[in-house]
Each structure stands twice: as C-alpha cells, then as structure tokens.
Structure 1
Amino acid sequence: MRLKLSDWLRRSETTGPVIVAVIIGVCTGFAAVALRWSVDYVQAMLQEGLGGRISGVCESLHPWLGLLWPVPVVALGGLVVGLISRYLAKETRGHGVPEVMAAVARSGGRIRARVAAVKLVSAAVTIGSGGSAGREGPIVQIGAACGSALAQWLRLSDRMIILCVACGAAGGISATFNAPMAGVLFALEVIVRRFTARYFGLVVVSSAVATITMRTLSNEGDYPRFPLVEGYRMVSLWDLVFFVLMGVLCALAARAFARTLFFVEDRAAGLRIPGELKPALGGGIMGLLAVATPQVMGSGYGAISDALNNNLAGPLLLALCVSKILCTALTVGSGGSGGVFVPALFTGGMLGGAYGSLVHGWAPELTSSPGAYALVGMSAVFAAGAHAPITGIIVLIEMTDNYHIIVPLMSATVLATFIAQRMSPDSMYTAKLRAQGIEIQDTPEVNLMDAITVAEAMDEAVDCVAEEMPVPELIERLHRDHERGYPVVNLDGDLVGIVTMRDVEEALMGRNTAELRVRDICTRNVVVCRPDQTLSAAISQFGVHSFGRLPVIDPDRPSRMVGILRRTDIVSAYLDAWRRGSEMTERDEALRSARVGHDMVLAQGTVGAGAALSGKTVREAVFPEKATLGVIRRGPMSVVPRGSTVIQPGDTLVLLTTRGDAPEVREWLGKMT
C-alpha cells in the first residue's frame, strides 16, 4: 500500500502534495499544542511544586536563602536534558534551527523520526524548569522531523523531503506564534533559503492548517500573541530619526547576543566533564542570575507584554536585556534544548523599551511611547541576528496586529540587518554550521521595493467623500466603515484634499461640528504619489508625512485619482512580489538546466530604445517559430513573460532554441532589438 501511495504522489502534480502538506500541518499543530501543555506541566511540577518546597525549606534556615530556589531547579532540568540528549538523540541539543538547516544541506532534509518525540520532551524540561529559551526552535525541529519522517516513509524524492521539512518548520512557527505568514517566511527565508511557487504554495497550506489546528485545540482564536493597550504610530519626523538610530543599537545587541552564545558553546565544548553535566552546570549558573531577574526564566512572554504596554521602568528594561543575553547563552550554549527566536525578541524588546524611555523622557512631544520602541526593537534585534528582515517585520505585525508603525519598523529592521551582515556574514543560526564545516548558500537578493510600482500595489476602488458632506455624516461613515480617513473630492470628482480621523478629533475640540462641512476640516495640502513610482519612493512619503494612505493620481491630470495606496497594500504587494519572483526562479532553473542539454542553448538580446520590439506586448511580438521566449530580465528582476507583458527598453529577452537554429535566432534578435 505504501508503494502504491508513493507512486500516486509522484505522479500527482497538485492533489498529492497538498494532501501531504495538510497532514504535516495537522501533525505540527498538534505538536505545538502538546509542547505548550508539556511546558506548562513541567513548570507546575518543577518551578511551582519542587521550587516552592525548596524555597520553603531554605527560608526556614534564612529568609534570603528562599530566593535561591531557581539554582537547583534549573540545574535539575539541565541534568535531565543532558541525559536525554546523550542516550536518546544527540540532535536535540541546542536550539534546533541549525540542526534542521544542517539536515537540509547535508542529507537532503532527512531527519530521524525519534527526534520529534525526544525534542518535545527535552524542550519541555528545559523551558519548564526555568531555562532561558523559547519554544520556537524546538517546534521547528519537531515539525521538520514530522515532515521529513512522513516524506521518507512515503519514499518521496529529495526535493519533496526538503519541501516537507519546510512545511513542518512553517507550521511550527505559525502555531507557536499564532502567526501563519511569519511561519511561511521563516521557513523559506531561514530554513530552505529559496522561494519558488511550489515551495510557497505548499508551505502556506501547511502553515495555515497548523494554525487552524492550534486554534481549535487551544481555543486561542484569531488574536495577536501580544495584544497592545494602545495602537502605536510614528509621531513626527524626529521620531523616525530616533527609530533609525535605534536600528544601529539593535545590530550591536544582536551581535552581542550571537557572540555570547557562541562563546559559551565553545567553552562548554572544552570542559572536561561528562556531557550530561554541562547543561546542569549552565542551568545552575543561569539560576543565580535569575534570582536577581526572574523575568528571564522560560520564554519571558510576560515581560515582553509588559514592555510593549509600558509597564516596566527603563533601568529594569536594560537589566533584563543584559540578563537575557547571558541566561540564554548559559541555557542553550551549555547543551540545553530550547530556541533563541523568542530570547532575541525579548532582548530587542527590553533594549527598545529602555531606549524609548530615554528619548521619550527627553522629547515626549516628538517621540512615541517606549512601548513602540520596544516593538520595533524586537523586530530589529531578531532580524539582525537571524539575517531575516522580512520574517522580523511580518512576525511583529502579526504578533501585535499593529500596522500603523510599519515605516519605523521596516526602517530600523532593514538598517539593523544591513549592519549585522556587514559585521559578520553568519547569522546566529549559520555560525554554528560554519564552525562544523557546513556552508549554507544564500539565494541572490533582490530589492523588491525598488522593483514594485505603486500601480501594482494600489487599490483602484477608492472610497471618497464630497467636500460638501456634513461632518456628523462623515463621523458616522468613518465608524460604520471602520476607516481612518478618505480622500475628498469636489463636484467634478477632482481631488481637493484628504480628511482623517485626526482632523475630526481636532474639529471636535471646542467647535460646533453640526454646521461644519468636510471642506472646513480637511487637509488641503495633499501628499500624493504616481502609479509609476516605486514602493520605495512611496514608503519614504509615508515616513516623512506620517500618513496612513496616499492618493494615487493620474500623471497627465494631477487632480484625478486613479487609486489609493495604504500601508497594508504595501505589505500585500511585497508578499505577492515574492510569489511572482518564485515563478521566475523556477523558470530560471529550467533554463539553466537547458544549458546542459545536448541540443538546447540560450540566445539573448537587449531591447534598445528605438527597437522594433520596444513597447509591444509579448502577444503582439512575432517570435521565430524555432525559439521560445523563456524569461525577460528587467534590471534586478526576471519577469515571467505573459501575453500582456509589455517589452520595455533595456529588457533582455532570453530565448530557448536548438543549437542548430541558434545562429538564425541570434540574427533575428540583432535585427529586432
């Protein structure tokens, strides 16, 4: 039966792989919930039960001794994990993600099935006993092991095994953080480091199914992991400057986080004591630090939530930042089983909160509250440490459900990642692999924001309000439609301004709104963008003017709107561009494989400004019968040609033809380009 099922899956182009992705998503969703319950159980048994009894006995000897209960409890957890990893599965040591990346790079994604069960137990003991680590690294390894085991049992190809590993990793992240898109991006940006349509589609399926499974089992619902008391937004241009400067600090913090972890790993490897005792020793020292800063024990979700909601003082935030770096290094570097994703978020949140407390205290009218800086710091430190800016941005948006601060979030995160990559070519995941002689190749980077136009991202269905509309009617419409603002047009439909909720709030202060019209309160000096602008240019306008939406105007008639561009449209367009880019990658791979064929070659020609093909669509252009248009290279991007694709000056046309017909095809290209 297994052979028949395997043969059917190989022949199936869509149905079979989707079924496999669904199964992996369900299994990973169950595993994520099981890991959470296991951590809670161990925490109740060791920290609350055993720790409480130890504290009571010690307090009877001296009141201060009762505070030392974390030392024996975390050390005991480390000892148990050391024994588990030595006798059951050595792969479960450490934070899990590098081990999955190594399996993809060295063994085609093959991971032993027992790793899933052993990792679940060891991670539950590490985190539940108070070790400073997160659940996301273990669940990535657990999900990847589930996907790999299923693919191996079905005797699928190496490519499908790696795809199943990516599905499991994505499902694990999405179910742990209740963030399905972040799970997809983490798997593709960090684990497999490639983005093709086949990978994208199936990983999305698995991630979504894992999230649904988790929500069904835990009754968590569609709520953010870290709900915010207030929605954060950029206050002024100076605010953006401070956010960008914080990106530099976040890069340094990420580097310190990684270096401290590697330092402890190296020192622990050189200790001449039994391997199972090393996590116990690291746990004991970590327990001493936790006496002064107990918030660093476990994942630290509570402290992160407090930092995001402005409930912690600046000095404490800074102390927790330093303590978390040391405690995570001692826990994971000594051989404990836990992830570094959440500790990196924790470190960034505390650093950002401390920095925000400083600048907000200095200039409260010009800067956001410290919680906003904590949010941006979380993304920036993780992205700088993992060299994964897209994952860092999306995971914070999904975990907090806050889109309004996306410009500072992107600016600080990208800058921090850029600096971190210049400081070291290795991320906190790949440095360990390089030390083992494993090279992880990066896929070529493309600045998508420079390659996407406003026309591709904007919403052509524009809801406008007339300038003669009474303000009470406007208020009712804003509340009914759950919008923050509208473009304002005159009787001829021409754009005359923009009105936002902030304009309404200012109008309500000491004025009789019953007699006011929209024209009386709207902003006349409208910042607009054009359809042919890049998203990079549009984002800079968002940042400078702190608007939530920009009207898109007709270049030939500036008073006429052709669309509206929102911040959420930018995020959606970014993800769509990644998906389109994946089609390009698959087409490029097919063309590269054609080069090694016995009779197939490529012919290329760059279209000039006055060329015969310039300005024509692919459908209008008549290509030689003996050649096939494979890819149009346009600057840093490659475009999959469709009938409606317009050939532009500067495009390089890549045609596939036979070796014998190549001279004739190249001659045709010379004439037409």
Structure 2
Amino acid sequence: NHLGWLEILVPVIGALIVGFMARYGSDKIRGHGIPEALESILINGSKIEPKVALLKPISSAISIGSGGPFGAEGPIIMTGGAVGSMIAQFFHLSSAERKTLLAAGAAGGMTAVFGTPVAAVLLAVEVMLFEWKPRSLIPVALASATSALFRYYLVSPTLLFPVPPHVSFIGPVALIACVLVGIIAGVASMLLTMAVYASEDAFHHLPIHWMWWPAIGGVVIGIGGLIFPQALGVGYDVIGMLLKGNIPLKVIIGILIVKSIIWSFSLGSGTSGGIVAPILMIGGALGGVEAIFLPNEGAGFWALISMAAVMGGTMRAPLTGILFALEVTHDVNSLLPLLIAVAISYTFSVLFMRRSILTEKVSRRGYHLSSEYATDPLEIIFVREVMRTNVVALSSSLSPKALAQALHDSLQNHKVQHLYPILNATKQLVGVVTRRDLQVLAQEHHIENENLKLDDVLHTEPVVAYADEPLRTVVYRMADTGYTRFPVVERENPRHLVGIVSLQDLLKARSRNLDEERRRERVLHLHLFFPGRGHEPQALTTKEEIDRDLIKERE
C-alpha cells in the first residue's frame, strides 16, 4: 500500500508481460495449467512442447509476484508434466507411457509445493490418468515419493500448515454440522466455477485480442488489492492464520468476498496462475464464518473441514481433498469429519454441476471427460457367455453347387450367417469362408464347376477367439485385424469349434450391463417372515419375458 493508487499498475504491468509471453511464446501457458495438461493428454499424445516447461513457471512467477491472487501449484503441475513429457519424448515410448511420465512429473511438482505425496498421486489418478493400473500408478507414486524426499532436504522438513490438535471424536451434533458444511461447500464450489467461466465468456465478447485480457484482469486485481491487500498473492500465510483461528472476522469476510471476485475475474482473463491455493483460502475463510454458529471444536477446525470440502467439490477430486487436508496438517483426528463434508460437497457438485472447474475448459474445446471409475463389463464377461452355438458349419469337401443348396436351405430356416466355419471329415476346423466369398463364387459362375471344392477358396488360417477369454480381448483383436467375426475354439484343442462370436454379440454385454443398472426387482418379501399376511406379490416382468411375449404374438 506504500504506492497508493500506483499500486494498481503493478498487476497490470505483470499481466501485460504474461499476455506478451503467451502470444509470442506459447498460448499453453495461459490458465492454471491442469486443463492444458489434460488437453495434451487427450489430443496431442501426451506431448508438450519443451518451451512450455520454461515459459510456464516464469509467467506464473511474474503473475504471482505482481500481486496475482493465484497459487504456484497449478503452474508447477503443468511444468512438472511438461518436464515428464519432454523426458518421455527422448525415448521410444507409446502415448500411454508418455501420459504416465507426464502425470508423474505433475505429481512430483505438486509434492514439491505442498509436501503431499499421497494427495499428489490421487490427484494424478482422479484428474489426469483416467485409469487405475499398476503400469501408471507405480511410476507416479515413485516420482511423488522422490519429490517428497528432495523437498525434505532442499525446501523444508516442516508442515506447510500446522494446526492445533483437535479431539479424536467430535460427537454426533458436530458430525451433523459437517453435513451442513459439505452442502455450503458444494454451493460455493458451484458459484466459484460459474464465476470463473462467466468471466471467461465475458472476455470472449471483447473486440480485442486475448493478449490484452490479462491486463484488464490486472486492473481488477489492483483495485481489489488497494481495498484489501490480504487478498493478493499466494496467501499461504493467510491460510495458516485461518487454520490457527487467530484472524479477525472482518478480515475473514474480506478474504471471502474480495479474493473470490479478483481471483475468478483474473483467472477468466487467461493469465497464468494456479487454483489450489485460492480455493484453500476461500474455503478456509468460508469455514471461519461457519465457525461463528457451528459447535466449537477447536481453533481452525471448521476452516480445515470447509477448505477440504471446497477443494473436493470444485475439482471433483474427493480423495485428493481429504488426503490433502490430512497431509498438510497431520491432523488425523479430522479424518471422519473430512470424509463426511467432502463426500457431501462432492455429491452436490455431481448433482448440480455438469463438469468441474478443471474439465469445463476441456469440454468447451470439444472433449468430454468422465471422472467415473467402473469395471468394464467386457472385462468380466467371457466369450462362452455370449457366443452363438447354433452355427451352420460346412464340410470342406462340399461342392459349390451343393453349397448353394445348403445356403438356400439355411435362408429358408431364417438362419443368416456372415461367417461359415469349414470342418473336415473328422469335424476339425480347417478354415472359414465369408458370405461375401460365396457371393463372389456365384457371380463368377463357379457354381457349375463340380471340380471346385471349398478347400480352394477358404481361409485356412482364420483368426479365432477362445471360449475362456474376456470380451475385451476379443474387442482388441477385432480392432487389430479389422474382422468383426471369429470362430470360437477351445484353448486345449484349437481345431475344435464351439461357436461363433461377432460384434453384435459383444453389444449384448453392453446391453446386459445397462439392464443390470435399470432393471429393479424385489428379491426378499415380507411374506417370507410373516406367512399368511398380505397377498403373494407378483414377479416383475423382465425385458426377456416381454420380448418373448411379443414374438409369440407376431407368430
């Protein structure tokens, strides 16, 4: 405040430099970094330009150093991801392997800032990797652990936000209050996300190049800093005071209002800076206000709970929010309240927000991200469960003329096949022939050639599927070969035909999965426990029974 009104010019000058770097250096340095990392994973094969690793930390340092209300974690995550991607590009690696190294670099960067290795791994899993597999989880965990080791010796061995000890069990009334905190945090998450992207939409309507947008955001930062200086910068010291509970109420309210306004407006302008520290600061201030009317559970307790809940709801990363709060404070006694509040906030976010603050920008560029983790039904359903066993198999010694009659008979019986297994005299599979092959034979008038046998036109080395393998393996095989139908054989005897599996059969697995989610049935009934009371409930009609009745009516 020593500069007076000239203070407004400081963030404006910093924003002008950032805008210049983004336009003439790389536009990937705009924003808080995580959506840009996601975009690189989705559309660019996890390849990030090396210059991003240099320009992103410099631009963020200028933005934060000139008063920007941002954190360093988002840019560090992007920078770490860029370094990981750059290292991967020096080696002969696949896109999936580059993605793992990118996420490993990002997790290492977050750990270096906050000293939260477990939360960093969870953030990589929940937000960036889109999978939970050993091939990706182990490298990310090792990178995060290595970063934590170096941070201990090179940065600081102490906690980032030490808090006073809290009781091990806060009681049922306070636990119910955690539900209220979660709801309020969910509302705050929605409002913050809406504010950021409403600001971004407003900037898109301006008749000037986006290079100048950060300067306009810098004006708002300068005015906000002139009114309330505590809202500027990273704010780790303010977060620490909120968690210790030694900050006046008027300061808390000022943080809640001014920080939210200048952060959402300036972030929407496209400048460079992180979102985690501002979210923690706003969430902590919200908890400080809630502490006025909630049960007294110790200094900074509700600030901690609200901070994690806002983080989990805004980023749609509930596990990250919980573990992050535990790691930066080591307050294990807060685990149950954190679990309740973050779960409620996350639920509110899922129900009332289409996307998170991280994925909204990616979605606006035409890429949808799902943060739901579930077992692929193709992984747990096997070929033997969906294959067709009522198959027309042809003899290898059958002449084309006899074949034409056999096909005519099969059509009369409404058994249309597109792939025909060919068996020898001992009923062993010797090859396959497609319906298209047979049509070509007919068009070339080979039907009249009695000397022509199926042995002359069949595919003697067909691609097969095994009855005991999961459908996902078959899907990959179809993608590799371009074929959509395979004969199914036994693994012990690859010449013993047991059926045919096609792409249509694989869709049955998806249909079965949808049916399991939609169909409801009552398994146990009260009359089992109270015989003689009430009427026997009618069994629910399943989809298969309805289809069977419709077929009977048509016949």
- TM tier, smaller: 0.5 to 0.7
Instruction: Flag as ranges the 4+ runs of structure 1 deviating above 4 A.
Output: 588-591, 598-603, 624-627
How far did 1:318 drift? 2.7
CA shift in 2, pair 1:88/1:626, >3 Å: same
Q: Note if 1:391 corresponds to 2:328.
A: no
User: What corresponds to 1:111 in structure 2?
Assistant: 48
Query: TM-score normalized by structure 2?
Result: 0.68
- SS of aligned partner of 1:235: coil
Inter-partner Cα distance in structure 1 for 2:336 and 2:179: 10
For residues 515-554 of structure 1, what are the alpha-carbon distances to aligned partners after superposition, in whole Å with 9 as ceiling and x for unaligned?
A: xxxxxxxxxxxxxxxxxxxxxxxxxxxxxxxxxxxxxxxx
Partner residue of 1:593 out of 473, 477, 481: 473
Aligned length: 396
CA shift in 2, pair 1:71/1:597, >3 Å: same
Letter of the 2:203 counterpart: A
Counterparts in 2 of 1:248-647, with a 5 A limit?
248-360=183-295, 367-369=296-298, 371-445=300-374, 592-597=472-477
How far did 1:319 drift? 2.7
How far did 1:625 drift? 6.5
How far did 1:343 drift? 1.0
Inter-partner Cα distance in structure 2 for 1:321 and 1:600: 65
Given that 1:194 and 1:443 are in contact with CA atoms closer than 8 Å, whether structure 2 keeps it comes out as: no
Runs of 5+ unmatched residues, structure 1 = 1-50, 56-65, 361-366, 447-587, 604-623, 628-635, 637-673
Given that 1:92 and 1:119 are in contact with CA atoms closer than 8 Å, whether structure 2 keeps it comes out as: yes
User: What corresponds to 1:200 in structure 2?
Assistant: 137
User: What corresponds to 1:15 in structure 2?
Assistant: none
How far did 1:600 drift? 8.5
CA shift in 2, pair 1:445/1:130, >3 Å: farther
Higher RCO (CA 8 Å, separation ≥ 6 residues): 2
Given that 1:233 and 1:368 are in contact with CA atoms closer than 8 Å, whether structure 2 keeps it comes out as: no
Given that 1:348 and 1:374 are in contact with CA atoms closer than 8 Å, whether structure 2 keeps it comes out as: yes
Q: Output the aligned Cα RMSD.
A: 2.4
Q: Note if 1:247 corresponds to 2:182.
A: yes
Given that 1:134 and 1:298 are in contact with CA atoms closer than 8 Å, whether structure 2 keeps it comes out as: yes
How far did 1:304 drift? 0.7
How far did 1:589 drift? 11
Inter-partner Cα distance in structure 1 for 2:489 and 2:315: 37
Q: Note if 1:178 corresponds to 2:107.
A: no
Q: Note if 1:137 corresponds to 2:137.
A: no
For residues 19-71 of structure 1, what are the alpha-carbon distances to aligned partners after superposition, in whole Å with 9 as ceiling and x for unaligned?
A: xxxxxxxxxxxxxxxxxxxxxxxxxxxxxxxx75xx2xxxxxxxxxx2x3431
Inter-partner Cα distance in structure 2 for 1:348 and 1:592: 43
Letter of the 2:55 counterpart: V
Partner residue of 2:22 out of 82, 85, 109: 85
CA shift in 2, pair 1:69/1:354, >3 Å: farther
CA shift in 2, pair 1:601/1:241, >3 Å: farther
Runs of 5+ unmatched residues, structure 2 = 376-467, 479-485, 495-512, 514-555
Given that 1:282 and 1:334 are in contact with CA atoms closer than 8 Å, whether structure 2 keeps it comes out as: yes
Given that 1:283 and 1:331 are in contact with CA atoms closer than 8 Å, whether structure 2 keeps it comes out as: yes
Inter-partner Cα distance in structure 1 for 2:477 and 2:19: 52
Counterparts in 2 of 1:204-219, with a 5 A limit?
204-218=141-155
Inter-partner Cα distance in structure 1 for 2:36 and 2:469: 27
User: What corresponds to 1:238 in structure 2?
Assistant: 173
Partner residue of 1:153 out of 90, 96, 121: 90
CA shift in 2, pair 1:83/1:601, >3 Å: farther
Given that 1:290 and 1:296 are in contact with CA atoms closer than 8 Å, whether structure 2 keeps it comes out as: yes
User: What corresponds to 2:431 in structure 1?
Assistant: none
Inter-partner Cα distance in structure 2 for 1:159 and 1:234: 44
- Among all aligned residue pairs of Structure 1 and Structure 2, give the percentage whose two residues are the same amino acid: 31
For residues 369-393 of structure 1, what are the alpha-carbon distances to aligned partners after superposition, in whole Å with 9 as ceiling and x for unaligned?
A: 3511000111100110111100000
User: What corresponds to 1:23 in structure 2?
Assistant: none
Inter-partner Cα distance in structure 2 for 1:602 and 1:117: 56
For residues 174-228 of structure 1, what are the alpha-carbon distances to aligned partners after superposition, in whole Å with 9 as ceiling and x for unaligned?
A: 111111111111111111222111111110011111222233322x01x221011
For residues 288-329 of structure 1, what are the alpha-carbon distances to aligned partners after superposition, in whole Å with 9 as ceiling and x for unaligned?
A: 112222111111111111110011233432331122211111
Query: TM-score normalized by structure 1?
Result: 0.56
